[in-house]
Amino acid sequence: MAVAAGRPTERQQPENPLTAGLERQPVPPTSMVIFGATGDLARRKLLPAIYNLAHDGALPERFYLVGVARKEKDHEDYRRECEEAIDRFSRRKPDPDVLKALLENVRYVPGTFDEASVYETLGGQLGAFEKEAGEPLNRAFYLSTAPEFFPVIVDKLGESKLAHDEHAEVRLIVEKPFGTSLEEARELNRKILSVFEETQVYRIDHYLGKETVQNLLALRFANGMFEPLWNRNYIDYVQITAAEDIGIGTRAEYYDKAGALRDLIQNHMMQLLCQVAMEPPVNFNAEEVRNEKVKVLEAIPAPTADEVGEMAVRGQYGPGHSGGDDVVGYLEEEGVPNDSNTETYAALRLEVDNWRWAGVPFYLRTGKRLARKVTEIAVTLKPVPHLAFSQEGSLGVQPNQLVLTVQPNEGVSLRIGAKIPGTRMIIRPVNMEFLYGTSFLSQSPEAYERLLTDVMRGDPTLFTRNDEVEGQWRICDPIVKKWEATPGPLPKYEAGSQGPAEAEALLRSGDSWRAI
């Protein structure tokens, strides 16, 4: 492109002295392309996130957006749809002037994802943006489509020479699910990496964009008091819970194919486990952090088919009560086959076989229609070696437990033993509570605002690398396969309950599930 000829690259230039001290660092000029631009994710999350970045003045100086989807419509129609989606789903009421300024640079390209003409039009549009801007623009292609279109779009981007640009960065953002099995994940990685370099690929796990999840690393590595205890010598077991009180709603088509293990454990919960178990990285750059997470995944043995029954439990909710209302069971939900064997609850017991964690069980559980909505990590310490206090007349001395709540009410709670006021030395457990919300003035940005900014800035720290995805699948795949091969009916649990009683069997003697 003429405007870019002879222009130096990032590496050839000294640092920009004007960025020192700025909270909001410059974001390179970018054209973003959303494939699946009229879908739910784009409407509910991506467009509102982009608007909120615009509202905060956090978009690049030059930002253009192209929506690509099958439906025939013109630019103006699409802008109107964007406006409606932003108005409905934005976390703040849109400012009409800001919205207008944003929408001026929005275009729409209709067509099916396998049509070469779509990519020709797209390439022409991206070129027109660069001409208008007078400078090369980075490109971010967001795959917000059904997963079966990922390989098609990647292929076409490659064929149409849109996957690389001599003068600008080209990035590919891939939404979950990243495959439904290890084999599929590997195949998808092979396909993507045949067209793009790994450094161009940003696999979204939106959990990693949540402030609360990032706080986990701050808690561990910015405080001296936890790390000395953070090992097998002091920690008895770790429990990670992602419980929801709602059912599947209108997501039957997706959920019945996915199930609880693929929906939450294979990605989000494995990431939480990695953050709890990883070694301190040398620094917080993307490669160092992701290297440490991969080491954790490599230390978790994948179960054999015979071992699955001992380390994994599944269940399906039946009718029950939620929020004071009668609710139907999973098989009665709209769109769910009445003989479905899809699990709505999954619990695992995993071991991390390394020097730090050998012998410490990591319990993971997730489910729909459980007693309440909570995502938390509970770290239970070993009991004190000798009890000098009477246990009589009290709840007794219980092991310390550190609970990191991800949502709702993000915070940290430490269970400690304290003396009950009175003449006798009787101990009962009490909680020291810290709530993040009480200590900061700022509002956390939506996960997608953070993640989209990171993509445009080229920071992949909060995205999943290919070996991480495959590492997660290596552990979960045998369980998926065993469950698929084992006919139902599945263990049932009442909606609004703690989950199936069978989950108790996963626990070591003396361990217990925390009440949801």
Partner 1 sequence: MARTDSLWSEQGTTPDAIEAALRQLLIEAHAEREEVVPARVLNMIVFVDLDWTGEIANRLRGVGRYHASRLVVLAYEPKRERLDARVSVSTDDPAAPGEVALLRETVVVELGDKHLDDLATITDPLVVTDLPTLLWSPHGHPEIIDELLPLAQAVLVDSVEEPDYEEALERAAALSERAYVVDLAWLRSTPWRERVAAMFDPPWLRPELRLFSSVTVRHHPASTVAAGLLVGWLASRLDWKPARLIPAGGELSGKAHASRQDVAVRLQTAPELHVPGLQGLTIETAAGHRLRLDRGPGGLRARFSAPREGDREWTIPGASRGETGVLGEGIRQALLRDPTYLPALEDARTLLA
- Among all residues, which ones are annotated catalytic? 268
Interface of this chain with partner 1, residues 335 to 394, rule: CB under 8 A: 372-373
Rounded-to-10 torsion of CA 240, 245, 248, 249: -150
Stretch that binds partner 1, among 61-69, 416-424, 492-500, 501-509 (CB under 8 A): 61-69
Residue 135 or 511: the one with the smaller Cβ distance to partner 1 is: 135
Query: Does 305 contact partner 1 by CB under 8 A?
Result: no
Instruction: Determine, following the binding rule CB under 8 A, whether residue 246 of this chain makes contact with partner 1.
Output: no
Q: Which of 226, 247, 216 is nearest to 319 (CA)?
A: 247
Cβ nearer to partner 1, comparing 131 with 419? 131
* Residue at token pair 């690398």: 465
* Residue 409 makes contact with partner 1 by CB under 8 A: yes
Q: How many residues does the chain have?
A: 516
104 vs 334, which CB is nearer to partner 1? 104
Mapped onto helix, strand or coil, the DSSP state of residue 145 is coil
Least distance from partner 1 to the Cβ atom of residue 22, Å: 6
Please check whether residue 302 is in contact with residue 475, taking contact to mean a CB–CB distance below 8 angstroms. yes
Looking at residue 44, the DSSP 8-state letter turns out to be I
222, 225, 441, 515: residue in contact with partner 1 (rule CB under 8 A):
441
Q: Is 28 in the site for partner 1 (CB under 8 A)?
A: yes
**Distance between CA atoms of residues 258 and 264, nearest Å:** 10
Q: Which among 98-106, 246-254, 391-399, 469-477 is the span making contact with partner 1, rule CB under 8 A?
A: 98-106
Cα–Cα distance between 417 and 237 in angstroms, integer? 19
Question: Looking at 88, 91, 100, 190, which residue binds partner 1 (CB under 8 A)?
Answer: 100
Could you give the angle at the alpha carbon of 48 between the alpha carbons of 43 and 51, nearest 5°?
135
Q: Does 72 bind partner 1 (CB under 8 A)?
A: no
Q: Minimum Å distance from CB 373 to partner 1?
A: 7
- Of 246, 358, 418, 435, the residue at the interface with partner 1 (CB under 8 A) is 435
Query: By CB under 8 A, what part of segment 30-59 binds partner 1?
Result: 54-57, 59
Tell whether residue 439 is a contact of partner 1 (CB under 8 A).
yes
Of the candidate residues 77, 95, 288, 326, the single one contacting partner 1 (CB under 8 A)? 95
496 binds partner 1 (CB under 8 A): no
Element (H, E) at 386: none
C-alpha 381/C-alpha 384 separation (Å) is 9
Token representation of residue 446: 């939506």
| Other beta carbons within 10 Å of 444 | 17
Min dist. Cβ of residue 24 to partner 1 (A): 5
Q: State yes or no: residue 222 binds partner 1 (CB under 8 A).
A: no
Contacts of 110 (CB under 8 A, 6+ apart): 68, 69, 70, 71, 72, 73, 118
Residue whose CB is less far from partner 1, 140 or 235: 140
From 23-31, 140-148, 388-396, 483-491, span contacting partner 1 (CB under 8 A): 23-31
CA–CA separation, 22 and 10 (whole Å): 19
CB count within 10 Å of CB 324 equals 6
The DSSP line for 436-468 is GGGT-SSPPPPHHHHHHHHHHHT--TTSB-HHH
The minimum distance between CB 16 and partner 1, in angstroms, equals 5
> Which C-beta is closer to partner 1: that of 14 or that of 421?
14
Phi, psi of 16 (to 5 degrees): -85, 110
CB of 219 to partner 1, least distance (A): 17
In order, the DSSP letters of 246-273 are: S--TT-HHHHHHHHHIIIIIIIIIHHHH
Applying CB under 8 A, the span of 9-17, 35-43, 172-180, 384-392 interacting with partner 1 comes to 9-17
Is 440 near partner 1 (CB under 8 A)?
yes
Residues of this chain that bind partner 1 (CB under 8 A)? 3, 7-10, 12-14, 16-24, 26-29, 54-57, 59-63, 95-102, 104, 132-135, 372-373, 408-409, 435, 437-443
